[in-house]
Amino acid sequence: MNDAQMSMVSVLKPIENFEAVYQGVDGTRPIAFPGGLDPDAGKDGFVATLMRGFSVPLGSRLFVQIPMTIDHYTPVAGYGYQFIWRTRNQQTLLSAAASGRQVGAYHLPTEELGRREIQLPTGADLFFIPGASDVEVFEENEPGSGFATLNVRQQRYIPQLTSSWVQPLTAAGTAAVWQQGAYQFSSNVECAGPSWVPLWLDAAGDEVSILAYKLDTASPWDFAGADKAFSNTYGTNASALPNNPHIGILVQSGMMGS
C-alpha cells in the first residue's frame, strides 16, 4: 500500500542521447536531470532553449536518492549535484490546459510578460520565470559591533561513497544481496549493496532540475573512459547496454512529520 504522506517515486534521467551529445564536451558543462526542453520552449513568450523542470509542491519535503556511479565493479565518486529551482506563473496552467497536458504547479499570480531579453535574435518579450539555486549559509564570528554577517553560497552535493557495504551471509553461507537490477553485474559486492544516497530537502520552487558536474573539470566528458561509470549508471555503458528508463535519480515529495 502506498504511504499517503509521500508521493510515488519519479525517476529523473538525462536526455536519452546524453553520451553522444556530451562526448568530448568541456568538463565544466553539467548534465541536467531531467533532460530535455520545457513543453512550452519556442512558443510565444518562451525561449526556444528553455530547460525542462520537474514539478514539485513548493515548500514540501523532497526525498531524493542519488546513485553511486559504478563502472562494472568499481564505484567512482567523481560527480557533484546542484539543485536549481524556478517559480512559474499562471501561464503554466493556461498552456497545459490548452494542450491537454497535466497542469504543473505555479505561484506567480499573473500571466503578464517580463522583460525583453535583447540578446535574443527576435528581441521578444518573455514570460517572467525566476530561477534560484540551493544554497548554504555560513556564519562568521560575532562582531564587536554592527551587523552580524551570514554568507550565502551556492552548494553542490558530492556523494563520497566508494564502497557500499560488506555482504552478510545467508543461512546457506552464501553472500547476501540487498538490492538488485540496478547495475550491470549486479551480483558484485558493490552493486548488490545500498548504493543510493538519500537526501531530504525543502522544495524551493515550483520546479526543480538537478545538474551533475564532473569534479575533474580539466578533462572533457569521456563515456568510454573516465566517465564510463556515469554512462553505466545513467545511460548505456558506452553503448553496451540499453538505456533503462527506470534507473536514475529517485524523487518523492511529501510532508513527513506534519
DSSP-derived secondary structure for the chain: ---TTBPPPEEE---TTHHHHHTT--TT--EEES-SB-TTTTSTTS-TTPBP-EE--TT-EEEEEEEPEEETTEEE--EEEEEEEE--BTHHHHHHHHHTPPPPP--B----EEEE-TTSTT--EEE---EEE-EEEEEPPPPSSS---EEEEE--B----S------B-TTSPBP-S--SSSTTTTSTTTTS--EEEEEEE--SSEEEEEEEES-TTS---TTTTTHHHHHHHS-TTTTS---TT-SEEEEEE-TT-
pLDDT of 202: 95
225 pLDDT more than 90: yes
Model confidence pLDDT, tens digit, residues 85-113: 999 988 777 777 777 777 777 788 877 78
pTM (2 d.p.): 0.90
pLDDT of 2: 58
- Rounded mean pLDDT of 219-225? 96
Model confidence pLDDT, tens digit, residues 144-178: 898 999 999 999 999 987 788 899 999 999 999 99
| Domain edges within the chain | 10-254
